[in-house]
Amino acid sequence: VLLNSVYHAEKCFLSWFRDMLSPDQDYQVTWYASWSPCANCADLVADFLARHTNVRLTVFAARLYYGWAACYRQGLRRMKQEGAQVCIMYNEEFEHCWDNFVYNHGEPWVLCWDRLDENYQFLVTKLEEILR
C-alpha cells in the first residue's frame, strides 16, 4: 500500500519550486532528508526531472524508506534514470544539515546516532544494490 503523499516534503517542495523555475537558468538542488522518498514521491520527482532538464538534484537521505519493497526500489531507480543522485548521509552531511538548515538554538552538532559507521556502510551497500 502506497502512502498518500499530499503532505510529504517532496511534493510540497516540487509545487513551490516549479513556480520559481526559469527555462533560461540551470539549477543544482541538494536535499537533506530523514528518509529516502516514498514510491509516490520518487515518481513525482522523476517526472519533474524528466520535464525540467535544467534541474540537477542530489538527495542525501539518512535512511532508506522501505528499501526492501519493490515499488520503493523502482521509484529510486526512476529518480536515478532521470538524473538524480541519491546518497546516504554520513557525518559530514549530518553536520552540514544541522549547521545550515536546522533551527538548533546555537547548539553544536553532536553525533548522536550509535554505530553511524556500520549503519552508513549497510545503507550505502543496500542503496547500491537498489540502484543497479
> Would you please indicate which residues are annotated as catalytic (active-site) residues?
10
> Rounded to whole angstroms, what are the CA distances from 59 to 31, 35, 48, 108?
5, 10, 14, 23
CA 117 to chain centre: 20
The answer to whether 94 touches 109, Cβ cutoff 8 Å, is: yes
Single-letter residue type at 118: E
- Longest pairwise C-alpha distance within the chain: 45
Q: What are phi and psi of 69, to 5 degrees?
A: -85, 130
